[in-house]
Amino acid sequence: MFLKKKETPQIDPQQRELYEHARKRIIQKKRLFQHFVIFIVGAVFFALLNLVFDYGKDITFFGVNWYVVAILCWAFLFIVHFCNVWLFTTFMGREWSDKQMERLIAKQKEEIALMQKDVDLMYPKDDLMKKKEGFIKGKTSEIVEELKEKESKNMITMIAAAGENDALGKDNDLVWHLPDDFKRFKDLTTGHHIIMGRKTFETFPKLLPNRIHIVISRNESYQAEGAIVVHSMKDALDIAKNDVQPFIIGGGEIYKIGLAYADAIELTRVHGDFEADAFFPAIDEETWKLEKEEFHDVDEKHKYSFTYLTYKKK
């Protein structure tokens, strides 16, 4: 004979959470009410002690009778308790906590993605696989040397959008509006140093968030609020030397100088010829290897089609 095992009812986790929340709220309110009753009884007791039984009639604090001070202090504690239970849970209740939590999680995810981007740059997957094989084969010291060498080198990257005729902009402005390219620029450069010429800096209405701005100018007295001013590309790169991927973001004059220092180019080739007064320098195929390309078609937000091209120095 087997006894049928009693099944425990399954409670929906969401319902359980709601139930737990309601239970806690009831306990909180009950305690608040108890505190209120004790406070009233206590206050009356103090008053009677003093007024009817003359207890401590001559004890004062700053000229105020002790029982008044005691009641005021207690009233303050009661108000704090009330705020905690009522006001904070009304205005900073579960919904508020959930929103805060979501915001914090989103922010942390963003930071993790940024860190991951840097790690991927420092240790590309292919390299890691090679190293893993090396470790298995016992070539530890060679791998440590290679790692040290890699750590001391950052990837200086030029990032630009240029037409088929290398057009960059005209009258200190861009000649197209490509939101997806802007987004890519933001994603790639956030958290890094951005190096630019004085003219490009002056096209910005405000500083770009979460990036260190380095402005190059020949003018020794030039000042740019919120940015670091230097007078050569070398100085700019020196400031950014601990950044795994500093970006040279233009314009024409600065790209021309930057080409000799860059290890990579993120170029958005906009399909069309444009009238311009600033141009991207020619990319020599002997020096640069095209590693990746991704086409973006015309759509309601993008008047021109374009291709993201990633070049690495050979």
Ligand X SMILES: NC(=O)c1ccc[n+]([C@@H]2O[C@H](COP(=O)([O-])OP(=O)(O)OC[C@H]3O[C@@H](n4cnc5c(N)ncnc54)[C@H](OP(=O)(O)O)[C@@H]3O)[C@@H](O)[C@H]2O)c1
Give me the least distance between CB of 189 and ligand X, in Å please: 12
Identity of the residue, 148 or 218, whose beta carbon is nearer to ligand X in the bound complex = 218
Identity of the residue, 127 or 253, whose beta carbon is nearer to ligand X in the bound complex = 253
Q: Which residues pair with 193 in a beta bridge?
A: 212
Q: Cα separation of 30 and 36, whole Å? A: 10
Residues of span 264-283 touching ligand X by CB under 6 A: 278
Is residue 227 a contact residue for ligand X (CB under 6 A)?
A: no
Q: Interface with ligand X by CB under 6 A: which range of 30-38, 116-124, 127-135, 167-175? A: 167-175
| Among 248, 254, 259, 309, contact with ligand X (rule: CB under 6 A) | 254
Give me the least distance between CB of 245 and ligand X, in Å please: 17
Q: Interface with ligand X by CB under 6 A: which range of 6-14, 91-99, 215-223, 285-293? A: 215-223
Helix runs in the chain, H state only: 13-51, 66-82, 88-91, 94-122, 125-136, 140-151, 179-189, 198-201, 233-239, 252-258
Distance from the first to the final alpha carbon of the chain = 80
Is residue 218 a contact residue for ligand X (CB under 6 A)?
A: yes
Q: Interface with ligand X by CB under 6 A: which range of 24-32, 108-116, 161-169, 305-313? A: 161-169
Q: Cα separation of 50 and 302, whole Å? A: 82
Residue among 233, 250, 101 at smallest CA distance from 189:
250
Q: Cα separation of 21 and 27, whole Å? A: 10
Q: Cα separation of 264 and 156, whole Å? A: 6
| Among 7, 126, 149, 173, contact with ligand X (rule: CB under 6 A) | 173
Is residue 219 a contact residue for ligand X (CB under 6 A)?
A: yes
| Among 25, 35, 117, 199, contact with ligand X (rule: CB under 6 A) | 199
Q: Cα separation of 254 and 202, whole Å? A: 14
Query: Residue 74 is encoded by which pair of tokens?
Result: 């207690």
- State the maximum Cα–Cα separation within the chain, in Å, rounded to a whole number: 103
Q: Interface with ligand X by CB under 6 A: which range of 12-20, 94-102, 132-140, 249-257? A: 249-257
Judged by the rule CB under 6 A, the positions of this chain that interact with ligand X are 160-162, 168-169, 172-174, 196-200, 203, 216-219, 222, 231-232, 249-254, 257, 278
